[in-house]
């Protein structure tokens, strides 16, 4: 007589994790709104007569109060993004495990890509979205991927590749100099990041709801 084997991953409720991840996205979006406000303040104030904070050859002049507060704002924003990343990856991992148990199929992407997919060049242009889509298909076979998922990812990539958004190639002092001399590229990048956070909120809610429906059918609250 054959004894049924337990599934490799136990089904777990997803709603709380989804709320935390979506809340983290809104927090990160709010942090970027604050950054944009400070960049506008810098542009309105104009560059001091002493020149930019980073004066080249390793020389940095003392920051004024507005510049110093922008450093604090960017540090707080970085902390908000780090928290958002932790909550989002935790949700994504749980979403992936549930989808694996519900579908009985191995995920398209190995588990290591849940982490590395965000940071490995080129791969980070599509792997994270692919993991979300694969988990959605495993949770809700036959259903179309929510539009919010694609909007979130397009805006995320724009913000990431802009060089002034999610991944900075310049120091905070160099960003301050950009705000003094041409704030609009900064604000455009900020808008992409904020838009990605808002679209991500709706994407997480939609994907979470689809899986939660299947979990209810499986007797998991």
HEC string of the chain?
CCCCCCCCCCCCCCHHHHHHHHHHHHHHHHHHHHHHHHHHHHHHHCCCCCCCCECCCCCECCCCHHHHHHHHHHHHHHHHHHHHHHHHHHHHHHHHHHHHHHHCCCCCCCCCHHHHCCCCCCHHHCHHHHHHHHHHHHHCCCCCCCHHHHHHHHHHHHHHHCCCCCCCCCCHHHHHHHHHHCHHHHHHHHHHHHHHHHHHHHHHHHHHHHHHHHHHHCCCC
Residue 60 forms beta bridges with which residues? 54
Q: Where in the chain are the domains?
A: 15-46+62-217
The model's pTM: 0.89
The whole-number pLDDT of residue 219 equals 80
Task: With cut-offs at 50, 70 and 90, classify the pLDDT of residue 1.
Answer: very low
- From CA 90, how far away is CA 43, in angstroms rounded? 38
Residue 169: per-residue pLDDT:
65
Judge whether residue 192 has pLDDT over 90.
Answer: yes
Q: With pLDDT > 70 as the criterion, what percentage of the chain qualifies?
A: 92
Q: What pLDDT, in 10s, does the model give residues 34-89?
A: 999 999 999 999 999 888 888 888 788 899 999 999 999 999 999 999 999 999 99
pLDDT (0 to 100) of residue 217: 87
With a cut of 50, say whether residue 214 has pLDDT above it: yes
pLDDT band at 148 (very low <50, low <70, confident <90, very high): very high
Percent of the chain at pLDDT above 90? 71
What pLDDT is stored for residue 4 in this prediction? 40
Provide the pLDDT confidence category of residue 98 given band limits of 50, 70 and 90.
very high
pLDDT band at 171 (very low <50, low <70, confident <90, very high): confident
Average pLDDT, the chain: 90
**pLDDT at position 6, please?**
40
């Amino acid at each position: 007589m054959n004894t049924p084997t337990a599934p490799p991953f136990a089904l777990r409720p997803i709603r709380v994790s989804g709320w935390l991840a979506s809340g983290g996205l809104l927090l990160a979006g709010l942090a970027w709104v604050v950054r944009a406000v400070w960049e506008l303040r810098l542009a309105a104030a104009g560059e001091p007569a002493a020149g930019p904070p980073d004066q080249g050859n390793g020389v940095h002049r003392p920051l004024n109060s507005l510049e110093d507060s922008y450093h604090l704002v960017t540090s707080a924003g970085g902390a908000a993004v780090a928290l958002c990343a932790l909550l989002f990856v935790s949700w994504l991992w749980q979403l992936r495990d549930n989808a694996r148990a519900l579908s009985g199929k191995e995920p398209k992407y190995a588990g290591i890509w849940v982490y590395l997919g965000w940071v490995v060049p080129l791969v980070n242009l599509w792997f994270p979205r692919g993991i979300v889509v694969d988990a959605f298909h495993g949770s809700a076979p036959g259903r179309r991927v929510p539009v919010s998922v694609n909007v979130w990812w397009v805006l995320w990539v724009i913000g990431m590749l802009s060089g002034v958004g999610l991944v900075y190639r310049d120091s905070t002092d160099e960003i301050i100099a950009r705000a003094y001399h041409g704030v609009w590229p900064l604000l455009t990048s900020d808008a992409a990041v904020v838009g990605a956070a808002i679209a991500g909120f709706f994407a997480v809610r939609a994907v979470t709801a689809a899986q939660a429906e299947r979990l209810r059918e499986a007797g998991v609250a």
